Amino acid sequence: MQKQRSTRLLSNEYMSGARGFLGSWEAHFVRPFRSYGAIAFLFAFSLLAPAVAQRSPVGGQLDFLNGNRPLLDAHNCYPYNGRWSDRVMRALRSGYPVSIEQDLAWYLDPATGVGRVVVSHTPETTGTEPTLQAYFFEQVRPVIEKAIAKNAPDTWPVIVLHFDFKDNRPELLKAVWQLLGDYEPWLSTAPKGVTATELQPIKKGPILVITEDPDEQQKVFYDDLPARAKLRLFGSAHTAAAPKLPRPELMHWAVTVAPEELLKESPTNYRRWWNSSWYAVEEGGQHQAGDWSAADDHRLHALVEHAHAMGFWIRFYTLDGFSLEKDQGWGQGYNFGSMEAVKLRWQAAAAAGVNFIATDQYEDLPAYLQQNSRELRPVAAPASVPH
* Cis status, amide bond into 50, omega within 30 of 0: no
pLDDT band at 102 (very low <50, low <70, confident <90, very high): very high
* 374, pLDDT greater than 60: no
pLDDT band at 73 (very low <50, low <70, confident <90, very high): very high
pLDDT band at 25 (very low <50, low <70, confident <90, very high): very low
Residue 33's pLDDT is what?
31
* 383, pLDDT greater than 90: no
Residues pairing with 118 in the sheet? 105, 131
CA distances from 8 to 5, 25, 26, 114 (A): 9, 19, 17, 47
pLDDT band at 4 (very low <50, low <70, confident <90, very high): very low
Q: 7 — phi, psi (to 5°)?
A: -115, 10
The pLDDT tens digits of the residues spanning 113-169 come to 999 999 999 999 999 999 999 999 999 999 999 999 999 999 999 999 999 999 999
Residue 228's pLDDT is what?
87
Residues pairing with 208 in the sheet? 160
- Note the helical H segments in 257-327: 259-262, 294-310
* 55, pLDDT greater than 60: no
Range of lowest pLDDT (153-157, 263-267, 363-367, 370-374):
370-374
Mean pLDDT of 30-56: 40
Residues whose CB falls within 8 Å of the CB of residue 281, separated by 6 or more in sequence, listed in order: 255, 296, 299, 300, 303, 316
Mean pLDDT of 169-196: 97
Residue 377's pLDDT is what?
65
Residue 132's pLDDT is what?
98
| Contact (Cβ atoms closer than 8 angstroms) between residue 121 and residue 165 | no
The Cα–Cα gap between 228 and 243 comes to: 39
Range of lowest pLDDT (3-17, 129-143, 266-280):
3-17
The Cα–Cα gap between 120 and 281 comes to: 29
Range of lowest pLDDT (35-49, 186-200, 327-341):
35-49
Residue 61's pLDDT is what?
86
The pLDDT tens digits of the residues spanning 320-329 come to 999 999 999 9
pLDDT band at 60 (very low <50, low <70, confident <90, very high): low
Residue 365 in 3-state DSSP?
helix
CATH 3.60.21 fits 21-369, yes or no: no
Residue 12's pLDDT is what?
33
Mean pLDDT of 231-243: 97
Range of lowest pLDDT (49-58, 156-165, 215-224, 234-243):
49-58
Mean pLDDT of 4-26: 37
pLDDT band at 5 (very low <50, low <70, confident <90, very high): very low
User: Can you give the residue ranges of every domain in the chain?
Assistant: 21-369
The residue with greater pLDDT, 192 or 3, is 192
Taking the alpha carbons at both ends of the chain, their separation in whole angstroms is 48
Mean pLDDT of 285-297: 96
The pLDDT tens digits of the residues spanning 321-362 come to 999 999 999 999 999 999 999 999 999 999 999 999 999 999
